[in-house]
Structure 1
Amino acid sequence: MVLRSIPRFIWPLAALLLLVRLALNLGLNPGLEWNYDERRNGRIADNYLAGRGYVSIDPERKQLRPDSFHASFPVFVYVGWSRAGLPRHYLTLVVYGLGAGCYLLGGLYVQRTLRYFGLPPRAAWAGAGLWALSPGVVYYVGAFWWYENIALPLLIVVLYKLLRLHGGRRLYPHDAAIIIGAVVLSCLLRGYLLAVYGAVFAVFLVLMMRQPVAGQRRIAWGLALGVALALGVAHVPILLKNYRQFGAYTLSNQAGFELLQGHNPVAQGRFMFDWDDRTSPFDQYVRTAIPTLDSLNQYQESQARARLARQWVAAHPLAEARLALRKTLLFFSPENFVADAPRTPWHPFTALVHLSFFAAVLLTVARYRGLRFESRDVLLLTPLVAAWLLSLVFFVGFRWRFFAEPALLLFPLVVGYRLRARLQRPSAGTPGHTPE
């Protein structure tokens, strides 16, 4: 039914976009290599298969050490993939294929989301095209081997379905399965999405509690509890694995490292490429504050770094406030993610989107021509707010700002349509029309 509703002119455009996407994937990575995070996970999987456990080589200590820095679920996948006797580069092709399919799915649900907000069909398709051609989607993240290319379109699908539920649509079993499956897979691939989806479902429940029909409220709670239960079950193997490694039920050891990157005397609000360079001011600061650093395992080091970050924030409230402002400005800057450089030049498309977003917010706050925030706007904007808060807690990561970019693009389109409708509305008192 959904596919039959797609206009004929969209199909050749979608095919062209898909070809461009795959051409970029393969052209930029002809060797079908993994990105640096997944190469590390791949080495952990190799060590596990060799009987050494979930370990990797520590470049400083020159020894194998238990490692649970990145997400553990991909390691489980790589172990299973290798046991099946499948070559690693086949998995690269599978991820590219899934990413390409999700790319088209994301465009479709951007269009459906804009239609739900009232935009006419052609305008909604144009908005989907803008999303599909936006810098992060088509190149900075989309052209490379990142699991965000699967997770972001799934977030767009989930948000659309939650918006429809908020609008009074029934929850069908297949919709519940899609929502739960999308949330669980996304969070297993990218752990920080637990925070994003936590915020999304918290806002969804608050909005649904205002619904007059008790049955809708019960369905919302049932869906949220189903998602929470599925997430809990899916993460049990990870919690058990990390407990066996470090004696603590954790999802990963990365949080403490990143917390200190975001709160220290030399923090600039963004990822520090020299964070583990022994000659850098940051590493010297850490080693002075934590003299036993080299004797700690990865979990203990993460905890020690987190404590140091909290101590710095408590001791330097004004510097922390300035840093939060710097992070906010950086978050909304027209930069895009790049894997191997501290920063990218400002992109005009990104700059225009961000300027349009702030214009839409200001016009709505000022109630220009009767504009106002609607409850469904809050749900649309929640991933943006969650990604911004993650940046304040840690640092500005343009890969998690990637999950804010649909809202940055869609909200100005929605407000623009509302404003256009108000400007075209006949003025009160015009001859032949009844005053409102």
Structure 2
Amino acid sequence: MIKSIPRFVWPVALVLVVLKLVLLIHLNPGLEWNYDERRNGRIADNYLAGRGYVQYDATWQQFRPDAFHASFPVFVYIAWQKAGLPKHRFTLLVFALTLATYMLGILYVQRTLAYYGVGPIGSWGGAGLWAVYPSVVYYIGAYFWYENLTVPLLILVVYKLLRLYSGRPLRLVDALIIVGSVTISCLLRGYLLAIYGLLFAAWLFLSLQVKARSYRAVWQLSLLTLVLVSVSHWPILQKNHQLFGAYVLSNQAGFELLQGHNSVTEGRFMYDWDEPKAPLSQFVHAHQPNIDSLDQYQEGKARARLAGYWIRTHLGDEVQLWFRKTALFFSPENFISDAGPTAYHPVTAVVHLAFLLAIVLTSVHYSGLRFYRQDLLLLLPLVVVWLLSLVFFVGFRWRYFAEPAMVMFPIIIWHRLQLSSRSRRKDA
């Protein structure tokens, strides 16, 4: 694999890695964690202090059980501190892994494009475009976010599944890479359970259609992944059952569902959702006056019921929200880590327009274009993230998982158009 990389790639890759490292350190000289992980870090601190998995609640002025964000990082932070390691070293570890997976993402974007037949210039050019894409190089990629680890792993897994779909024998090393990547990704970002679940379902279906001889290996890999993901999440389910009496991975879903379905939403993440005087809090208290007396699990359930009630009684507004969320999803906005105003970027706009044009041209079979079965595997993460945006709200941090497909698919369609043009000239 390494020997097949052209020599010109190495100095470019070195420059990109240095740039990313400089940005990581420059934008976070104190080696701080992001606000979600600071919350998880406080829970780890409270656990080590003997209080349990709790967070201080200013409203109640006491420590209360907390299972809002992913629990796996809390387990990691507890183990890290038990080993006597300082928090800033963990930040450095995440930065190092960010750089490593960044290079992995570049490599597998190139390999994915090459799988689709794109030549070296186009495939390495596409990899370079992803490497300098606004969200990758700055808006998310230059900060402490676990998306920087899980997006490149998604690119890798999709490539591996594409190759297996095309008939490559399942090697043990590939099985371990796929299973490990999926498991760690889902532990870090729970919504990836939906993405990988549907991705593997589609892969199983496609493999059944065209690769009956290798279907046993397909089932074995799928079952192994399912088992390992399930086993790795069991301690989380047990911990939350002890805290709230329910086997849940997180209490967050109900909170986010209400964010996306209420009379004051704009269809995007609301940074002031938990502020008492903010519109959403006023909306919640008007419909659920006793909301502050509930524990976190009960509150999540109450918010989910309120979201369901609002949808049933505002069907016209709900349909309008779908269109608004879709427009937001494909807008050239980018995530801002410090919760400032969302930024537009011309490169994001061009890529999104190119992607939508590629979808339209393929849908109308322009110049003989059509969707191929393997296109489903490439595009499915984007489709799932878009659907999650309709169910919840548009979050430009989870749209990150859709962006590799937005970058690659127009390049693939351009390659197919070139092949079609050459074929017509040859026939003429």
Q: Equivalent residue for 1:167?
A: 166
Counterpart for residue 434 of structure 1: none
Please state how far the C-alpha of 1:331 moved relative to its aligned partner: 0.3
The Cα shift of 1:345 comes to: 3.0
The Cα of 1:339 is off from its aligned counterpart by: 2.2
Question: 1:384 pairs with 368, 382, 385, which one?
Answer: 382
Q: Deviations over 1:170-190 (max 9, x none)?
A: 110110110000000000001
Counterpart contact for 1:273–1:342, Cα < 8 Å:
no
Verify the 8 A CA contact 1:293 1:301 in the aligned structure 2.
yes
Q: How does 1:30-429 map to 2 (within 5 A)?
A: 30-211=29-210, 213-341=211-339, 343-427=341-425
Which 4+ residue blocks in structure 1 deviate beyond 6 angstroms?
Answer: none
Q: Aligned letter for 1:113?
A: T
Deviation, 1:61, is 2.1
Offset at residue 349 of structure 1 (A): 0.2
CA offsets, 1:384-431, max 9 Å, x none?
00100010010001111000000011000000011012112243663x
Once the two structures are TM-superposed, the CA of residue 122 in structure 1 deviates from its matched residue by: 2.0
Structure 1 residue 366 displacement after superposition: 1.4
Q: Which consecutive residues of structure 1, in runs of 5 or more, have no partner in the other structure?
A: 431-436
CA-to-aligned-CA distance 1:311-337 (integer Å, 9 cap, x gap):
111111111000111000000000011
Give the root-mean-square deviation of aligned CA atoms.
Answer: 1.0
Contact 1:335 1:343 in 2 (8 A): no
In structure 2, what is the Cα distance between the partners aligned to 1:307 and 1:342? Answer: 30
Q: Secondary structure at the residue paired with 2:13? A: helix
Q: Contact (CA 8 Å) 2:143, 2:337: kept in 1 or not?
A: no
Distance 1:324 1:343 in 2: 22
Equivalent residues, number: 428
SS at match of 2:64: strand
What SS class does the counterpart of residue 377 from structure 1 fall into? helix
Cα distance, 1:281 vs structure 2: 2.4
Given residue 63 of structure 1, which amino acid in structure 2 is its aligned partner?
Q
Consecutive unaligned residues in structure 2, runs of 5 or more? none
Instruction: Report the residue type matching 2:63 in the other structure.
Output: L
- Mean CA deviation greater in 62-71 or 271-280: 271-280
Q: 1:200·1:379 contact (CA, 8 Å) conserved in 2?
A: yes
Give the deviation of 1:363 after TM superposition.
Answer: 1.1
- The one-letter amino acid paired with 1:337 is F
Match of 1:230, SS?
A: helix
What is the CA distance between 1:58 and its match in structure 2? Answer: 1.1
Instruction: Give 1:60 shift.
Output: 2.2
Tell me the amino acid that sits aligned with residue 75 of structure 2: F
SS at match of 1:395: coil
Q: Structure 1 residue 214: deviation in Å? A: 2.5
TM-fit CA distance, 1:274:
1.5
Query: Structure 1 residues 429, 58: CA separation in 2 closer, same or farther (over 3 Å shift)?
Result: closer
- Once the two structures are TM-superposed, the CA of residue 59 in structure 1 deviates from its matched residue by 2.4
Which has the higher mean CA deviation after the structures are superposed, 420-429 or 267-276? 420-429
Partner Cα distance (1:83, 1:95) in 2: 18
SS in 1 for 2:237: helix
Q: 1 CA distance for matches of 2:271 and 2:342? A: 14
Offset at residue 140 of structure 1 (A): 0.4
| Percent of aligned pairs with the same amino acid | 58
> Separation in 2 of the partners of 1:382 and 1:177?
22
Partners of 1:381 and 1:407 within 8 A in 2? yes
CA distance in 2, matches of 1:236, 1:429: 60
For residue 320 of structure 2, what is the amino acid of its counterpart?
A: R
User: Aligned with 1:361: secondary structure?
Assistant: helix
- For the 8 Å contact 2:336–2:343, the answer to whether it is kept is no
CA contact (8 A) 1:207 1:375 kept: yes
| TM-score (ref. length: structure 1) | 0.97
Q: Deviations over 1:187-223 (max 9, x none)?
A: 0001111111112111111111101x43322222221
AA aligned to 1:327 is K
Q: What CA distance in whole angstroms lies between the structure 2 residues aligned with 1:103 and 1:342?
A: 25
